[in-house]
Amino acid sequence: MGVEGIGARVTRKEDKRFLTGKGRYTDDMTVPGMKYAYFIRSPHAHARIKGIDKSAALSMPGVIAVLDGKELKADGIGNLICGWMIHSKDGSPMKMGAWRPLADETVRYVGDAVAIVVADSMGEARDAAEAVSVDYDVLPAVISSVDTLKPGAPQLHPEAPNNLIFDWEIGDSAAADAALASAAHVTEMEIINNRLSPNPMEPRAALGIYDEAEDHYTCYTTSQNPHVARLVMSAFYNVAPEHKLRVIAPDVGGGFGSKIYIYPEEIVCLWASKKTGVPVKWTADRTEAFLTDAHGRDHVTKVKLGFDKDHRITGLKVDTIANLGAYMSLFSSVTPTYLHATLFSGQYVIPAIHANVRAVYTNTTPVDAYRGAGRPEATYVLERLMETAARELGVSPAELRRKNFITTFPYQTPVILTYDAGDYAASLDAAMKAADWDGFPARRAESEKRGMKRGIGMSCYIEACGIAPSAAVGSLGSGVGLWESAEVRVNAVGTIEVLTGSHSHGQGHETTFAQLVADRLGVPMDSVAIVHGDTDKVQMGMGTYGSRSGAVGMSAIVKALDKVEAKAKKIAAHLMEADESDIVVENGTLKVAGTDKSLPWFQVALAAYTAHNLPAGMEPGLKEGAFYDPSNFTFPAGCYICEVEVDPETGKTHIVQFVAADDFGNIINPMIVEGQVHGGIAQGVGQALLEGVHYDTSTGQLLTASYMDYAMPRADDLPSFQVSHQCTPSPSNPLGIKGCGEAGAIGSPPAVINAITDAIGNNDLTMPATPQKVWAALNAAR
Amino acid sequence: MYATNYHRASSVEEAVKLATDNGDAKFVSGGQTLIATMKQRLASPSDLIDLRHVAALKGIAVNGRSVRIGAAVTHAEVAASAELRAVCPALANLAGGIGDPHVRHLGTIGGSIANNDPAADYPSAMLALDATIVTDRREIAASDFFQGLFTTALEEGEMITAIRFEAPEKAGYAKFPNPASRYAMTGVFVARRGGAVRVAVTGAGADGVFRHEGLELALSGNWAPDAVGGVSIDPTNLMSDLHASSEYRANLVKVMAKRAVASTL
């Protein structure tokens, strides 16, 4: 490891511009003649649009156009799609209702876009929007995923009778039933995973620019995957063919999954730009973000876990209802199925598993992947179950887990995945040591003296990252491949540009990817630039989500670097009259092994471009591209321990300590990895203690539409985290990386709830465990 | 935000005249509620009259135990005042716990009291301290001033210029913040002068800030945290919302009263 290479704690190259306010986000983009769009949204959870009267608005100052869904439809703009086909257990394909970018007949959630006003200023657009009169015929609405399946529930889409999108299963139902029937002990629970709002710091935004002379569109947008946005807008939404559409995702201020999806706004801004002849920009305000950014989670699950007389797990049976909201968002179908139920083996040997998932429509904001995406829901179910089972069986929660750990690899689970490497006991041991697990009884006694209730809880999580082998996901219904691309361009003076299909929206790729190149070629990091987020620069890419940029995106760079290095060695060998196999790359030079002959990197690069003296038949230049398709998922895993003190008078939970012991395989930059873990735990603690989307169940109005009511974690809600890493390198990619972006959010919620329920002596507690709920649960337990 | 006309007043008289001359005018000082409300288009005053440059509204004066705080004094200034802290640390502590540093350096005591948000901290202190609200035209006892949610005794165009009170022997404040907004989900201010005890509750009442006779009676007999133990808090007239039921708030009233008293010992 050099000072800048793999494993070094290099400070982030991108932070100078972010910390000095010099980042360039979509809303910072200004082009000549640009106008502003304001979206008119449904104030009703469910209604028919009887008519739209634009006349008053059209005569208001600064107004250029008021455009509605009928005009959008007339221009041939297509429905929004879900990109992953799920088949119900009866073999029928999922039942997807139409999602219009601007609703033309029916609105199905509060915030559903109906029309836009384009005006000279945002203020004028808003003023005019208030003058647009939309006549609604209000229909009954349904909010809860359980209620929506009941007979007589309001129906959302004619395509989906009874609001049921699919009724899917995985695993062996008969085997799981048999295992539970013969079990010595069965732990049974009903578990709710609360609906969350993603809350990236930067709200979504889009700038659509239509160039009439070239018949070409440019879209600046807040995307985690600009190429996917271009692909989908071309292939499905009929905005423009790919070669006539450039999508740029410049600096993006966080995504957490919510910026994977292609939303109505970017489509409408592009269409409106052509329609009006002016560039059209839209930026969400925070309440629009709460209303329209795809929400996360919202599962209701009934589950049974069986044990034999020796406390070995015999079987697991899961029945989940997943609320997908009013429309199927881009990856909404895979999140509660293949990203969720395939994780039900956890870190354990479970001979029989069966999971049934019903996905339903409700009159709420669409739900899709949010940091962890299905895996937090699975982990929460399994780790609440394991803790509860340990209490019921009267055994140590650590030892119950340890007894059931998978210890030999590769391990084929009953639910598709093959775990390739791991050492779950190593993380459990590290976490228990760091948390001083054995000292807990004394700490609890000390708290009791002060009138406080102390509790400790753990969670042993696993996730499937490095998403994903293309053929495998294709066989499971994915509409896209999940490889990644890279291009390494060595300039004539030896500086390097790496073009990647990954997209950084906080992950620090400009640093870690440059570290990889510095490590490999021995050149200074400062001579490496990472280029991403522009479909005109990077040919194709699948973007960043699912903790895939390291395992998949960097692996593509490794492949491209392999090719660059091979060509550079050929040139160096030719110039130094040596054998190619004797050339080694060391500290920025190409050397002939065992001699003092060497050439600096830049001279080899220059030789490639002057082309005065290249090996016979070699093309000039030094630039190579590669596509990397992973051979397997990666399986980050770890153990989290949370210790809390609950104030019995108020129900307020104080997290006394939080320990994370993670196995992410090899690590490029420990500082950045720790930051990811910190942020992930903060979000997980947010889910466990504070965050929750709430609707009025009769009107469907969003009650948590601002930070006055949606509680985000703040620094004083969190302790200093104790983070450590164990390492079993992933055998499935050249760098041995597993990925770290989601672990914190996946592993932490059950640890927090296990700790609180331990403290209060009542296991009946839902997230978020607000002071009110904890106080009520404490009183119920008294 | 809708368009509005901005005026910078340099005296109380000028400010009041501007308000009287412009029908739908609002006074603005720190703007920590008003500006946010205007940005959401929930308020649309025709005119904003900026009070931040009116010298008469500034300053904290402590004479013996008599305290006068100008209406445009920020929460941060109240929190940092050594003179005030010497006679009534509870009020300085209350101010130091409002919002965040940004809010505390812009928001003012006059603005908070005039707005009478049911979850604001200051109204409970004014009521428990038996403060006098001084306006451009009269003096109003705190008991008469606060008249329900966002409602006060202020007339059209009437402006708070200062608040006055006699510092009590003992005073304490404890609040339980709303997990999202960090406004008081329940805040209790206790004050004792001889045998006379006043207990005012904010954040919990369905009609805004109120005094609790049961707590006052119990604490006038015994100024001790344990004294509130036997008091029954009726949840009937308490707020119930997403974050806290009226029953939970009733519990918080008792717990915060206990902690407010404990803070004085």
A770 and chain B in contact, CB less than 8 A: yes
With a CB cutoff of 8 Å and minimum separation 6, the contacts of A241 are: A234
What span, in angstroms and rounded, lies between the C-alpha atoms of B241 and A739? 41
Q: How far is residue B174 CA from its own chain's centroid?
A: 14
User: Which of A696, A708, A779 is best to mutate for the B interface (most B CBs within 10 A)?
Assistant: A708
Going by pLDDT thresholds of 50, 70 and 90, the confidence category of residue A386 is very high
Q: Residue A448 pLDDT more than 60?
A: yes
pLDDT of residue B12: 97
Give the closest residue to A89 by CA, choosing from A153, A149, A173.
A173
d(CA A519, CA A517): 5
Second CATH level (architecture) for the domain A18-139+201-254+259-292: Alpha-Beta Complex (3.90)
Pair A148, A160: CB distance under 8 Å: no
B151-197 confidence digits (pLDDT tens): 999 999 999 999 999 999 999 999 999 999 999 999 999 999 988 99
| SS3 state of residue B49 | strand
| A433 sits in which H/E element | helix A424-434
Secondary structure percentages of chain B, helix, strand, coil, to 5: 35, 25, 35
Chain A interface disruption, residue of B249, B252, B254, most A CBs within 10 A: B252
**Helix, strand or coil, per DSSP, at residue A691:** coil
CB contact at 8 A, A375 and A340? yes
The chain A residue lying nearest B249, using CA atoms, is: A772
| Cis peptide upstream of residue A468 (ω within 30 degrees of 0) | yes
pLDDT value at B96 more than 80: yes
- ipTM attached to this prediction: 0.96
Touching B: A residues 641-660, CB under 8 Å? 649-652
Query: What amino acid occupies position A213?
Result: A
Residue B243 CB contacts under 8 Å (≥ 6 apart), including other chains? A709, A770, A772, B178, B179, B180, B185
Are A344 and A316 within 8 A, CB to CB? yes
Distance CA A258, CA A278 (A): 28
Yes or no, beta carbons of A708 and B181 under 8 Å apart: yes
* pLDDT confidence of residue A2: 64
DSSP 3-state assignment of A35?
A: strand
H/E segment holding residue B164: strand B160-166
Question: Do the Cβ atoms of A707 and B242 come within 8 Å?
Answer: no
Which candidate, A266, A280, A277, places its Cα nearest to that of A120? A280
For chain A, what percent of residues have pLDDT higher than 70?
A: 100
Question: Has residue A533 got a pLDDT over 60?
Answer: yes
> What secondary structure does DSSP assign to A169-214, as a single string?
EEE-HHHHHHHHHT-SEEEEEEEEE--B----SSPPEEEEEEETTT
- Tell me whether residues B176 and A650 touch, CB distance under 8 A: yes
What's phi and psi for A538, nearest 5 deg? Answer: -95, 130
A299-468+632-781 and A483-628 in the same fold: yes
- Of A481, A475, A482, give the one whose Cα is nearest residue A547: A482
The pair phi, psi for residue A511, each rounded to 5°, is -90, -55
Phi, psi of B23 (to 5 degrees): -50, -50
One-letter identity of residue A268 = V
- Strand A47-53, strand A133-138: pairing: antiparallel
Give the Cα separation of B153 and A163 in Å (integer).
Answer: 53
Average pLDDT of span B133-161:
97
Q: Which residues of A touch B178 (CB under 8 A)?
A: 711
Residue B29 pLDDT grade (very low, low, confident, very high; cuts 50, 70, 90): very high
Residue A615 in this model has a pLDDT that exceeds 50: yes
Residue type, A374: G
Task: Give the count of beta carbons closer than 10 Å to the beta carbon of residue B58.
Answer: 18
What band does B23 get if pLDDT is binned at 50, 70 and 90? confident
Phi, psi of A215 (to 5 degrees): 50, 50
* Tens digit of each residue's pLDDT (9 = 90 or more) over B41-83: 999 999 999 999 999 999 999 999 999 999 999 999 999 999 9
Is the bond into A620 cis (omega within 30 degrees of 0)? no
When the pLDDT of each residue in chain A is averaged and rounded to a whole number, the result is: 97
Q: How far is CA A590 from CA A608, A617, A721, in A?
A: 14, 21, 44
Residue with tokens 């998978």: A406
Q: For an interface test with A, which of B44, B242, B247, B261 has the most A Cβ atoms less than 10 Å from its Cβ? A: B242
CATH architecture of A299-468+632-781: 2-Layer Sandwich (3.30)
Where do the structural domains in chain A lie, given as residue ranges? Answer: 18-139+201-254+259-292, 299-468+632-781, 483-628
- Give Cα A498 to chain centroid, integer Å: 24
Beta bridge pairs of residue B186: B176
Asked if B223 has any chain A CB less than 8 Å from its own CB, the reply is no
CATH architecture of the domain formed by A483-628: 2-Layer Sandwich (3.30)
- Cα separation, A499 vs A658, in Å, equals 38
Using CB atoms, pick whichever of B180, B243, B252 lies closest to residue A650: B252
SS (H, E, C) A478-497: ECCCCCEEEEEEECCCCCEE
Distance from CA of A743 to the nearest CA of B (A): 25
User: Whole-angstrom Cα distance, residue A504 to residue A250?
Assistant: 9
Which residues on neighbouring strands pair with residue A681, listed in sequence order?
A: none
| Distance from C-alpha of A183 to C-alpha of B96, rounded to nearest angstrom | 59
For the segment B17-33, the average pLDDT, to the nearest whole number, is 94
Handedness of CA B247, B250, B254, B260 (dihedral sign): positive
| Closest-approach residue (CA) in chain A for B256 | A650
Strands (E), A588-714: 589-592, 598-600, 623-628, 637-646, 653-663
Give A283 to chain B, closest Cα distance, Å. Answer: 15
The per-residue pLDDT for A1 is 47
Judge whether A352 and A315 are in contact, CB under 8 Å: yes
Taking residues B228-251, what's their average pLDDT? 96
**B221: number of Cβ within 10 Å:** 11
Smallest Cβ distance to A775: which of B2, B180, B248? Answer: B248
Render A124-142 in DSSP notation, one character per residue.
Answer: HHHHHHHH-EEEEEE----
Which one-letter amino acid corresponds to residue A530?
I
Quick check: A748 pLDDT over 70? yes
Report d(CA A86, CA A97) in Å as an integer: 14
3-class DSSP state of A461 = strand
Report, as an integer, the average pLDDT of A359-367: 98
* Residue linked to tokens 């200034």: B77
Rounded-to-integer distance, Cα A134 and Cα A105, Å:
12
A702 to chain B: closest CA residue: B242
d(CA B127, CA B216): 13
Bridge partners, B135 (sequence order): B160
Q: What is the pLDDT of residue A781?
A: 82
pLDDT in tens, A170-196: 999 999 999 999 999 999 999 999 999
Q: How far is A717 from chain B (nearest CA, A)?
A: 10
B255 to chain A, any CB pair closer than 8 A? The answer is: yes
Tens-place pLDDT, residues A245-304: 999 999 999 999 999 999 999 999 999 999 999 999 999 999 999 999 999 999 999 999
Query: Which residues of chain B have a CB within 8 Å of the CB of A707?
Result: 180-181
Q: Which of helix, strand or coil describes residue B139?
A: strand
Domains of chain B: 5-50 (3.30.43.10), 55-166 (3.30.465.10), 170-262 (3.30.390.50)
Instruction: Select from A222, A361, A359, A235 the least CA-distant residue to A293.
Output: A222
Q: Give the whole-angstrom CA distance, residue A379 versus residue A179.
A: 21
Which of chain B's residues have a Cβ under 8 Å away from the Cβ of A690?
179-180
Whole-prediction pTM = 0.97
Tokens 């392999």 correspond to A562
